[in-house]
Amino acid sequence: MKNTKTNNLGEKINQNLFDLWREAMTQLRQLHNDVWNGVRFFLTLNSILIAAIFGLYNLNGDIHKDFFIFIIACIGLLLTIIAINILEKHRNYYLDMLLRKTLLERELGLYSSKISGIDLSFSWNIPEEFIDQIVKNPDEWKNEQRWRCKTISWLLRISYWIFIIIYVCLISGILLSNFCNCVWN
C-alpha cells in the first residue's frame, strides 16, 4: 500500500488517516482559540457595561440616568444572549471534532499503542472506555457531554447566565420603578 508509512513503533499507519487526524487537531486548536477569544471579548465587554451602569447609578441628580442604564442593560442583555449562542455553537463544533479526532486516533492505533503504560492519544482525548459508546451512538454521547458539570464550557455558560440575571434585574427594576412613579404621581 503506497499510502502507508511505518511509525517509530514499527507499526504501519495510513497516511490519509494521519493527514485527517492532523487536520482534526488543527481544527480543535482553532476552536479552542475561537472560544477563548469570544470569552475574552464578551466578558470584557460585559464588565465594561456593568461598570458603566454602576458609574451611572452613582451619579446624583441626572434625571436621564435611568434611561441610559436601561439602554446599556438592554445592550448587555442582547450581547450576552449572542455570546451564549456562540458558545453553544462552538461547543457543538468542538464535540463533533473531538469525536472525529478520537475515532481517527483509534483507527490509527494511538489508543492501543502505549509507552510506559500511557496511550498515544493526544490532548483533548476521550477516555478509551467511552469509545464503544461513541461508535454505537455518537449523538447520545454528544448530548451527555454538551454541558457536563464542572467543564470550562459549563462554567462559562453559568457566568453568561449570571450576566443575564443582572441585566434582567436592572431592566425589570427600572421598568417597575418608572411604572410605580407613573401610577403614584
* 3 inside domain: no
* 5 inside domain: no
Q: How far apart are alpha carbons 15 and 5 in whole angstroms?
A: 7
| The pLDDT value given to residue 185 | 64
The number of folded domains in the chain is 1
pLDDT tens digit at each of 185 positions of the chain: 456 665 555 556 678 888 888 888 888 889 889 989 999 999 999 999 999 999 998 887 667 888 999 999 999 999 999 999 999 999 999 888 888 888 888 888 877 776 777 666 666 667 777 788 888 888 888 888 888 888 888 999 999 999 999 999 999 999 998 788 777 76
Residue among 157, 153, 160, 162 at smallest CA distance from 32: 153
Question: What residues make up the domain containing 143?
Answer: 10-184
- Residue 151 makes CB contacts below 8 A (sequence gap 6+) with none
- Residue 20 makes CB contacts below 8 A (sequence gap 6+) with 100, 104
What secondary structure letter does DSSP report for 83? H
Read off the pTM. Answer: 0.79
Judge whether 73 and 173 are in contact, CB under 8 Å.
no
* 126 inside domain: yes
